[in-house]
Amino acid sequence: MTGVRVFPAVFAAVFFLAGASASGVSRSQLEREAIAQSVERYNRQDHVVLEPCQWQLARRGGKKARNRQPSRDEQSSAAPATLNPFTPPPVEVRDPNTTQELVVMGYNVLNLDQHIGSYKPDLHDGGKLRRISNSEKKPERHIIAQAQILKDLKVDVGIFPEVESRFALDVWSLGYLGGMYDTGLIDGNDPRGIDVGMMVHRSLGFTVEARTNKTRTWYDEIQGRNDQIFSRDLVVFIYRLPGEKKPFLIALGKHYKSKRTRSPDDIESRIKRKAEADETAVIVAELAREFGLDAPIVVVGDDNGVWTAEQEYASMKRALEGVDPSAGDMVDAFDLVKPRLTPSQRITHSYHPRGGKTSYSQLDSIIVAPGIQHCIKRAFVYRYKNAKGEEIPIPTNIEERKRNPSDHFPIVAVFDFQCLMKVMKK
């Protein structure tokens, strides 16, 4: 890296976009092309380091690892993540000694700019996905509505499954959120471009280390070959306050295999999803060995199953047992607040099959490690609202569902910031 490079064309594209969004004017194709050209020019240059959010590429594998099967340690390689090419507006960094709360969100956004279309697994070809409908532009009102949720809830750290590109995250941050968020995304294993994205509020002043686990493999008995464990990735984002070596928060972004049957021998893909959950437990244990049993770990995102009830997630609950038999369980944030959420309050997803019965589930979760469970203040599922600010009922059919920005609802856990500070300083 040779230093920071700034291009005047980027400034022009960014601030024109931000102004247009703020006034409610839709982005034009010319604006999109201007930003795309700026990104393309940037990508031919060296990485840019953002201040105050500096992306650290702590590689473990190196060139030799690409020529052989990586070991488990090497499979936790850090991310070759491209860095935000834009220079956002200045922001005042909060004093960590007086900050009261840290708001963490998990939200399957159903893509931010371009719906990828529908796919169906080919049961005669190892569950390979086949496109059955074309991609389409996401309605502008949905993009605006999703950005407004982050503003209303004052989200500090967001983990977003089903983001199609880093570019889409940057446009969302700069065009709809005033450039207040730094972004991160590592291309995962899913060829459709539904990756796990991350945003962190710049006022926190965090440095962020990103690690990918997409190269971890297992022997898939259904396919009869070695394959990547994670359908997308399990991205580890490590947040540190300036000048601190110990993490303030470690967020693992998950998006496990869907319940679509990939083979007659793996109904609802439960075998695949269990392999992903089991490996997540391994990674949590590795992080505890690296940073201590009280490591501030949260596992955030889309389980594509009910984490608290289905057996494929059992190993995650006792992820730290192999590190210390006396270690407590990993627990869903919804079970750490009083009163506990009711079954209807826990619904994060509605499914409306054609000709079938609508089903409601908690498919998303924020799983909290024992070391910071006492720092939870609130946890809830956000419900969409209409123009008057009134809560919209949970959809009862597909037409009502389509009016919402996503088929998932955002989930939120609010932590006591000073409590997290004490854990970090132990």
Sorted by sequence, the CB contacts under 8 Å of residue 392 that are 6+ apart come out as 383, 384, 385, 386, 403, 404
- Domain region containing 24: 1-48
The arithmetic mean of pLDDT across residues 163-187, rounded, is: 90
One-letter amino acid identity for 406?
A: S
pLDDT at 22: 32
* Residue-wise pLDDT tens digits, 44-84: 333 333 333 333 333 233 333 333 333 333 334 443 344 44
The structure tokens listed for 193 are 């471009």
pLDDT of residue 87: 62
- List, for residues 394-405, the tens digit of each pLDDT value: 999 999 999 999
Query: For residue 33, is it within any domain?
Result: yes
Q: Where does the pLDDT of residue 125 fall: very low under 50, low under 70, confident under 90, or very high at 90 and above?
A: low
CA–CA gap between residue 277 and residue 229 (Å, rounded): 10
Mean pLDDT across the stretch 86-112?
91
pLDDT of residue 17: 28
Phi, psi of 267 (to 5 degrees): -65, 130
The pLDDT value recorded for residue 424 is 97
CA 257 to chain centre: 15
Q: Which of 10-14, 49-53, 300-304, 377-381 has the lowest mean pLDDT?
A: 10-14
What is the number of structural domains in the chain?
2
Same-domain pairing of 323 and 414? yes
> Are 193 and 306 contained in the same domain?
yes
In a domain, 78, yes or no: no
In this structure, are 241 and 329 located in the same domain? yes
Q: What secondary structure does DSSP assign to 64-86, as a single string?
A: GGGGSPPPTTGGGPBP-PPPP-S
Q: Can you give the pLDDT at residue 249? A: 98
Q: What angle do CA 115, 120, 122 make, to 5 degrees?
A: 150
Q: What is the mean pLDDT of residues 358-363?
A: 96
Check which CATH number belongs to the domain holding 258 and give it. 3.60.10.10
The β-bridge relationship of strands 101-106 and 157-163 is parallel
Tell whether 221 and 364 lie within a shared domain.
yes
Instruction: Say how far apart CA 150 and CA 422 lie, in whole Å.
Output: 27
Read off the pTM: 0.79
Q: Is residue 417 in a domain? A: yes
